[in-house]
Amino acid sequence: EIGRAGHLGPPCLDPDGPADICRLPGSLELAIGNCSVEERSRGRFRTTHDLVKAHLAGDGEATAIWLKSVRALACAIASFVNILDPAAVVIGGGVAQSGPALFEPLQRFLDDVEWRPLGRGVKLLPAALGEFAGAFGSAVNALRQP
């Protein structure tokens, strides 16, 4: 118990990729996180919000970068669903602020990649506390410690 549970950004999607802050190569965090948006966009965008804004404005290159990232997230979610079998997946952090620009293509990608042996897919939900959900959860956990 050292406080790492619940953070699903580190899973490796590309063992040949660069290491992330957790030292894992080709992580989900690098595929969709704000920390790598400049690299993924070859310097065109400084933040995920800038990338999404350009995508929504019809920028084809931004759309390609964004949808590649969202597909990586869908593949990671489908992997977690196969391992953990949750009824729902709650998406928090800054990326959840993208609203329909995230959740609509994410649902389509999940429809393509999620294994559904009983015909039901996992529910996707935005975190009720928005991008600060993790911070609030950590604070509550810290307050409960003796």
Q: Which long-range contacts (CB under 8 A, 24 or more apart) does 40-45 make?
A: 40/65, 40/68, 40/69, 41/65
As a residue count, the chain comes to 146
**Can you tell me the mean pLDDT for 19-37?**
88
Q: What is the pLDDT of residue 7?
A: 56
Q: What is the pLDDT of residue 6?
A: 56
Q: What is the pLDDT of residue 4?
A: 47
Per-residue pLDDT of 119-143, as tens digits, reads 889 999 998 876 666 666 667 767 7
Q: How far is CA 131 from the centre of its chain?
A: 12
Count Cα neighbours of 130 within 13 Å in the Cβ-side half-sphere: 3
- Tokens 């619940």 sit on residue: 6
Given a cut of 70, whether residue 106 has pLDDT beyond it is: yes
Tokens of 143: 């307050």
Q: What is the pLDDT of residue 146?
A: 74
Q: What is the pLDDT of residue 37?
A: 95
Per-residue pLDDT of 41-100, as tens digits, reads 999 999 999 999 999 999 999 999 999 999 999 999 999 999 889 999 999 888 989 999
As a whole number of angstroms, the distance between CA 17 and CA 113 comes to 22
As a whole number of angstroms, the distance between CA 94 and CA 88 comes to 19
Given a cut of 80, whether residue 16 has pLDDT beyond it is: yes
